[in-house]
Each structure stands twice: as structure tokens, then as C-alpha cells.
Structure 1
Amino acid sequence: MTPTPVSAPNAGGRLQGRVALITGAGSGIGRAAARLFAAEGARLVLGDKTEAVHATARQVIDAGGQAVALQIDAGNEADVMRLVATAQEAYGQLDIAFANAGISGGMAGIFDATVDLWTEVLRVNLIGPWLMIKHAGKVMADAGRGGSIICTASVAGIRSGAGGPAYSASKAGVINLVTVGAQQLCEAGVRVNAICPGLTETGMTQPTFDYAKDKGVTHKLGRLNPLRRAAQPDELANAALFLASDQSSYVNGQALVVDGGLSSSHPVTRQLTGQTAV
């Protein structure tokens, strides 16, 4: 995967004058969102469990943007509170929170998975976004300027077939969580939405992409969706930017699916245009 060059901040950008917090910013969608949000004028607080978050911040700073990086556990309340406090201390405000961090938990089936596995997946993937809504949302509500919270769910949270049971259940929870969050933060003008990526080349899915490359079958990745390909992180970052910006000012409590059309249909035998279906 060739990373998109980091653009210098745009003085008239869609996020000019705003402060954005992004978790899972060490790679993949989170890193792409950090570069894009900064290019659109946002000042950033970036969190990730790995040291790579500092490299993301360096990319933003080298391009002329502003970013603070912290190594955190997105499913730990004290760490989420520290991220939110850092935004207030560094920039005096918080306008956007992108709860993007997540783990796959593997593909262990219903009978094979352990309670410990389920607990960890739910802690990071579902409790983490709730903590972001709880603490970032409170700061936004108290400030009285509104705001936007985005959570990364997944097509796996819509129906089966796109992830293991624990992962799928956690992402279904995120989709419901944003609807509840949107209702409970409505008086403060804080919007809460989710993005639901399909197969995307990120740090979490890198083993799948590496295996396909080793076997010479990269052309098969994403072949089940109508676009017949996998997504790149920048494509999901663009969806997050839309939800973070005023361009989505009337979008609230929604799960925006970005999957190449994968979830638009039940499984069928693919037919060429003009042929009779069977």
C-alpha cells in the first residue's frame, strides 16, 4: 500500500478552527484520517496503542499541521479521559472525536472462542466508543458549540459473513450505540454517527493482504462486492471527514456503509448484464 502524500493545511479547509481527536491513529484508517483532517485545517490529538502514533503525528507536523500523540488503550477509561483532557489543555476545545480504534479478535467460532476473547473484543470495540461518547461528548455539550462524534463500526455489524462472532457482535453494538448517543446528545447539538467499512487494507487486515500477495491472488480481494476490489484507508477517511464536517450537518444517528456495495444484496449467482437470472 502506497500512502497518500500528506497535504499542507488548507486555510479554508472544512475543519478549519476545529480540534479533532482520533484513536487508532497509528495506521490504516486512523492515520489516513489524521492526514486528511489536518489538511482540512483541524488541530489533532492522536491516540493509538503502538508507537506508530508518533510517526503519524510527525507526518502531520512536517506538513505544517498541529498534532499531539499519546500511546493509549482505547478501551481504558482513564486513557480516554487523558486524550480528552489533552485536547482541552493543548488547544482549549474539542469539536470532533473519531473513535476508530479496534481489534479483530480472530475468526474463532461460537464453540471455539473463549470468554476472555469476547471480553477483550467488546472492551476495545464497544466499550471504547462508548467511553469516547461519554467523555468527549460531555466536553462538547458543556462547551455549547455542538460537535461531531464518529465511531468505526463495520459491515460485520450489519449481518454475518464479514468477521468472527465476537467482532461482529461488537460492531453491531457500535451501530446501535450511535443511535442512542445521537438521541441522548441531541439537546447539545452533538451529532453521533458511524462508518461501516467493508474490506479495507489496514494494520488489522494486513495479514490477509500479505497472504494474498504471497499467493499471487490479490485480484480476489474484495471480489464479492460490486466494485470487485478492496478499499484503501483514504476512502474511509473521506467518509469520516464528511461526517466530521458541516457538510453532514443534517446527518445524525446513522451508520454510513462504505463497502463497495457488498451489503446491498443477499448472496446471488452473479449474472452478466442482459442475461437471464437463474
Structure 2
Amino acid sequence: MTGRLTGKVAIVTGSGSGIGKASVDLFRKEGATVIGADLHGSDFECDAGDEEQVEALVEHTVRDHGGLDIFFANAGISGGFDGIFDQDAADWAEILRVNLIGPFLAVKYAAPAMKARGAGAIVATASVAGLRSGAGGPAYSASKAGVINLVKVASTQLAGANIRVNAICPGLIETGMTEFIYERARSRGQESEIGKLNPLKRGGEPAEIAQTALFLASDEASYINGQAIVIDGGLSASHPFNHQSYGRTTT
């Protein structure tokens, strides 16, 4: 199917690489006018956690493209994997500013523009790290848990506006944020070990996440609202255990 976003105007933050870049490319392929926003090398330079810059991004989009239908609040930072006792309040404040306040600002400024169009879709990137521990650092995990709750609250706050707010929760995806994991595994000849904990036994690709973002942004997801969609190869479907391959027998 093509043209799923024909006539739509979309903003994608964190568009310079990874999931954001893949989503910009896919949204444009599906007919949308897309404004990619990132700190550097994008259509519009923007710090996704800065209120004035996000407001300016939405105003620019509405002024130059006639309105706004989709906002994919994808920008985020990992903040490292240090433990709670190795981070300070400033570390947490910066991670929360980008990862959680960023999606809040997307909702705050995109929703009025979408209401003027009579409908809209907001998608935020959360993470499986927001579901339970073990997939990210403490501050990162807390920020993504906040995103999951934010979309639930925002969807109810926008009741009657015909604006849907959902999140996606990627598992291990090869992006700039996880590059060190992949590079370390490859340098050790352990690339086949990547993603071994999920039933699909592999990591994911940015394009696979972009496909879910596309679906949630499109009219095909017209009755999906306030949800966090997990895309992790089945990792979170069970408690951790040593998965046997299909058809393998043990004695």
C-alpha cells in the first residue's frame, strides 16, 4: 500500500539518524510533507526539550505548510548506563528534559495546531526500558516509563478533539544510541549473540520501528489511542529464561 499519508503534514524529531531518519524517509515515501527536526543537519534545527524551540518548530510548520497532522516525538538520549549511585541530579534532569519533557512539549504545541485541522496523531518513542528494569540506565528507564504514562494522560486530556496519542516501545534496535553494543559484539566476533534473549533471536532495524510509527500516524490506526505498542522481537513477552530454538529437543 502506498500513499498512506498523502496530504498530511508531519514533524519528526530526532530525524538525523536511526529511527527518526528511517521514519522521515518512510513518511515521505507514503506521501507526507515531513519536517525533520534535530540538533544538526536536519530540515529544522531544534532541541526537542527546549520549549521555545519546539513552539517555533510547530509555528514554522503551520506557517510554511498550512497545518500539522502528525508529530512523531522521537528525539531522545540514553544518558549512559551508570547506576543510581553514579549519577547526580543534573544527569537525571538532562535525560528527563529531552526524553520526557520533549514529548510533553510535542503534545502541548502540536495539539492546538491539530485541533484546527479537526484531527491529528501524536506518536512518542518510549522503550521497553520503560516497562521494567534491565534494558537501560536508571534515568533513561524512568524517563521512558514517564512517556508511557504521558500518552495515556494526554489521550484523555484531549478527549473529543479527535487527536490520538500513542507510544512505541522499541527493544534492541541498531541506532546511534546502541552503536557501542553492536560494535563491541562485532569486534569480539559475537554478532550472532545480539538479540539472543528475544524469541526472534536478533536485534531490530530502525525501518521496522518506522513501520509501526507509520501505522500509528496513519488513519489505519484511527481507533488506537493512549497505548504503548511494544516492538521488541518478543523480549517482554515473558520473564527471562534460556529460549530453546523451535524444534530443538533436549535430554
Is it true that 1:81 corresponds to 2:55 in the alignment?
yes
> Structure 1 CA distance, aligned partners of 2:161 and 2:104?
17
Match of 1:7 in 2: none
Secondary structure of 2:58's aligned partner: helix
Match of 1:105 in 2: 79
> Structure 1 CA distance, aligned partners of 2:24 and 2:184?
28
Out of 14, 24, 32, which is 2:14 matched to?
A: 24
Contact 1:45–1:86 (Cα < 8 Å) also in 2: no
Out of 222, 228, 232, which is 2:201 matched to?
A: 228
Contact 2:14–2:75 (Cα < 8 Å) also in 1: yes
> Structure 1 CA distance, aligned partners of 2:6 and 2:33?
8
Deviations 1:132-185 (A, max 9, x none): 0000012112x1421000000000000000000000000000000000011111
Secondary structure of 2:175's aligned partner: coil
Deviations 1:17-74 (A, max 9, x none): 00000000000000000000000000011111122x2xxxxxxxxxxxxxxx111110
Deviations 1:231-266 (A, max 9, x none): 000000000000000110010000000000000001
Is it true that 1:139 corresponds to 2:113 in the alignment?
yes
Match of 1:238 in 2: 211
Change in 2 beyond 3 A, CA 1:116/1:275: same
- 1:69-218 correspondence to structure 2 within 5 Å: 69-141=43-115, 143-218=116-191
Change in 2 beyond 3 A, CA 1:188/1:207: same
Deviations 1:97-156 (A, max 9, x none): 000000000011111111111000000000000000000012112x14210000000000
TM-score when normalising by structure 1: 0.87
Per-residue deviation at 1:218? Answer: 1.1
- 1:244-255 correspondence to structure 2 within 5 Å: 244-255=217-228
- Provide structure 1 residue ranges, at least 5 long, that are not aligned to the other structure: 1-9, 54-68
Secondary structure of 1:84's aligned partner: helix
Letter in 2 for 1:25: S
Match of 2:242 in 1: 269
Change in 2 beyond 3 A, CA 1:209/1:273: closer
Contact 1:201–1:230 (Cα < 8 Å) also in 2: yes
Percent identity of the aligned residues? 56
> Structure 2 CA distance, aligned partners of 1:179 and 1:219?
37
Contact 1:104–1:204 (Cα < 8 Å) also in 2: yes
Contact 1:178–1:254 (Cα < 8 Å) also in 2: yes
Contact 2:166–2:227 (Cα < 8 Å) also in 1: yes
> Structure 1 CA distance, aligned partners of 2:111 and 2:221?
18
Secondary structure of 1:161's aligned partner: coil
Per-residue deviation at 1:275? Answer: 7.7
Contact 2:197–2:242 (Cα < 8 Å) also in 1: no
Per-residue deviation at 1:215? Answer: 1.6
Secondary structure of 2:67's aligned partner: coil
Match of 2:229 in 1: 256
> Structure 1 CA distance, aligned partners of 2:245 and 2:170?
26
Contact 1:20–1:97 (Cα < 8 Å) also in 2: yes
Per-residue deviation at 1:81? Answer: 0.7
- Provide structure 2 residue ranges, at least 5 long, that are not aligned to the other structure: none
Secondary structure of 1:187's aligned partner: coil
Total equivalences in the alignment: 251
Contact 1:144–1:188 (Cα < 8 Å) also in 2: no
> Structure 1 CA distance, aligned partners of 2:124 and 2:91?
21
